[in-house]
């Protein structure tokens, strides 16, 4: 059995670990400051890019103070599923989503888009920056620079970001070669993106503890004895930065 995907993902993660260390460190510092100063942290991605939003939201071992931005029209339960592609390309939709978020200066917005070309994510970045929000983007720079923006401004997502983390995947996201066809298969962005974000979460929590925070705002598993009570107590401490119903 070929383990091509395992090998390729290992190669990409190794490159990310080396080449994106500085950007990940910057992101860690931004999140630590936001949590310590009780600022809000948001995350957004459209369609499959939104899988990382779910990974970071309401997850045992994850940060309690990360707020998802969901748009029903770009979720994967739509029919026809092509609606998601139409909506992420619709100029103005990202601005509408942004208008529903109470962004404040020095809040953090994490955006995920592999190509970085579609209006919905670009507009969220633009609107957030206009309000003084720090925008962190996970994207594929090779992919982004090989194509053009679908937004009237002509800007790509990385151009409306304060920190850019390159996921170092292949153009088109598929990463494994199949003999006999041109199209690569098995995308890397979800695995790599989740690893990037969870690595940052680990460093954020360690830094918060090193800085004297006894209980960082992380979710304890509700299936562990005492987990519900710990979560409730942490929610009370950080509820001013938690904007979803809990």
pLDDT in tens, 29-76: 999 999 999 999 999 999 999 999 999 999 999 999 999 999 999 999
**Contact residues for 11 (Cβ-Cβ < 8 A; gap 6+):** none
Domain that holds residue 43: 4-241
Predicted structure pTM score: 0.97
**Contact residues for 195 (Cβ-Cβ < 8 A; gap 6+):** 13, 16
Count of domains for the chain: 1
Q: How far apart are CA 41 and CA 103, in angstroms?
A: 9
In a domain, 246, yes or no: no
In a domain, 59, yes or no: yes
The confidence score (pLDDT) of residue 174 equals: 96
Reply yes or no on whether the pLDDT at 1 is more than 70: no
In a domain, 186, yes or no: yes
Buried b (16+ CB within 10 A) or exposed e, 133-153: bbbbbbbbeebbeeeebbbee
In a domain, 111, yes or no: yes
pLDDT digits (tens, 9 = 90+) for 163-211: 999 999 999 999 999 999 999 999 999 999 999 999 999 999 999 999 9
The confidence score (pLDDT) of residue 130 equals: 98
Whether residue 163 contacts residue 189, with contact meaning beta carbons closer than 8 Å, is answered with: no
Q: How confident is the prediction for the chain on average, in pLDDT? A: 97
What Rg do the C-alpha atoms of the chain give, in angstroms?
Answer: 18
CATH of the domain at 162: 3.40.50.10490
In a domain, 235, yes or no: yes
In a domain, 152, yes or no: yes
In a domain, 50, yes or no: yes
The confidence score (pLDDT) of residue 108 equals: 98
pLDDT digits (tens, 9 = 90+) for 85-140: 999 999 999 999 999 999 999 999 999 999 999 999 999 999 999 999 999 999 99
Phi, psi of 216 (to 5 degrees): -60, 155
In a domain, 182, yes or no: yes
Closest CA to 138 of 170, 115, 118: 115
């Amino acid at each position: 059995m070929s383990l091509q995907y395992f090998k390729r993902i290992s190669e990409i993660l190794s490159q990310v670990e080396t080449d994106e260390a500085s950007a990940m460190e910057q992101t860690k510092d931004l999140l630590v400051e936001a949590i310590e100063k009780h600022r809000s942290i948001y995350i957004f991605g459209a369609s499959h890019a939104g899988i990382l939003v779910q990974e970071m939201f309401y997850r045992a071992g994850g940060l309690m103070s990360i707020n998802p931005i969901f748009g029903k029209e770009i979720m994967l339960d739509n029919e026809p599923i092509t609606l998601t592609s139409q909506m992420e390309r619709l100029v103005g939709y990202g601005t509408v989503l942004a208008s529903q978020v109470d962004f404040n200066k020095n809040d953090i917005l994490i955006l995920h888009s592999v190509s970085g070309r579609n209006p919905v994510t670009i507009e969220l970045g633009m609107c957030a920056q206009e309000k003084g929000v720090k925008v962190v983007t996970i994207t594929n720079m090779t992919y982004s620079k090989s194509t053009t923006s679908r937004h009237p401004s002509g800007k790509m997502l990385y151009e409306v970001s304060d920190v850019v983390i390159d996921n170092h995947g292949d153009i088109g996201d598929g990463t494994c070669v199949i003999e006999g066809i041109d199209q690569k298969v098995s995308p890397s962005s979800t695995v790599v993106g989740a690893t990037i974000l969870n690595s940052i979460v680990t460093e954020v929590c360690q830094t918060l503890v090193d800085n004297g925070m006894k209980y960082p705002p992380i979710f304890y598993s509700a299936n562990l004895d005492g987990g519900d009570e710990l979560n409730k107590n942490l929610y009370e401490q950080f509820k001013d930065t938690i904007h979803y119903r809990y």
